[in-house]
Amino acid sequence: MKIVVIGAAVIGLVSPAFAQKLPGDFAFLRDIDPTIIQDIRYASSNNFMGRPIAGYGAAECVVKRDVGLRLKAVQQELARQKLSLKMFDCYRPSRAVADMVAWSKNGAETAAERRYNPAFSKADLFRLGYIATHSGHSTGAALDLTLVDLTADNSAKFDPAKDYADCTAPVAARAPEGSVDMGTGYDCSDAKGHTAAGSITPAQRRWRTRLVAAMAGQGFVNYSKEWWHFSLPGAGGRAYDFQIVSRRN
Which of 60, 113, 177, 226 does the annotation list as catalytic?
A: 226
Q: Is position 226 annotated as part of the catalytic site?
A: yes
pLDDT tens digits, 168-200: 999 999 999 999 999 999 999 999 999 999 999
Residue 127 pLDDT > 70, yes or no? yes
Q: Smallest Cα–Cα separation from 147: which of 118, 183, 189, 174?
A: 183
Instruction: Report the pLDDT value the prediction gives residue 42, as an integer from 0 to 100.
Output: 98
Instruction: Report the pLDDT value the prediction gives residue 243, as an integer from 0 to 100.
Output: 96
3-state SS, residue 38: strand
Is 144 annotated in some ligand binding site? yes
Instruction: Report the pLDDT value the prediction gives residue 235, as an integer from 0 to 100.
Output: 84
Angle at 54 between CA 50 and CA 57, to 5 degrees: 100
Instruction: Report the pLDDT value the prediction gives residue 188, as an integer from 0 to 100.
Output: 96
pLDDT tens digits, 3-42: 333 333 333 344 444 557 898 899 999 999 999 999 999 9
Residue 102 pLDDT > 60, yes or no? yes
pLDDT over 90 percentage in the chain: 76
In whole angstroms, give the CA distance from residue 63 to residue 209: 24
Domains of the chain: residue spans and CATH? 8-231 (3.30.1380.10)
Q: Which residues pair with 108 in a beta bridge?
A: none
Instruction: Report the pLDDT value the prediction gives residue 249, as an integer from 0 to 100.
Output: 54
- The sign of the dihedral angle between the CA atoms of 112, 116, 117, 123 is negative
Residue 151 pLDDT > 80, yes or no? yes
- Mean pLDDT confidence for 120-135: 81
Residue 221 pLDDT > 90, yes or no? yes
pTM, two decimals, is 0.89
Is 194 annotated in some ligand binding site? no
Instruction: Report the pLDDT value the prediction gives residue 233, as an integer from 0 to 100.
Output: 94
Instruction: Report the pLDDT value the prediction gives residue 12, as an integer from 0 to 100.
Output: 38
Indicate the pLDDT class of residue 107, thresholds 50, 70 and 90.
Answer: confident
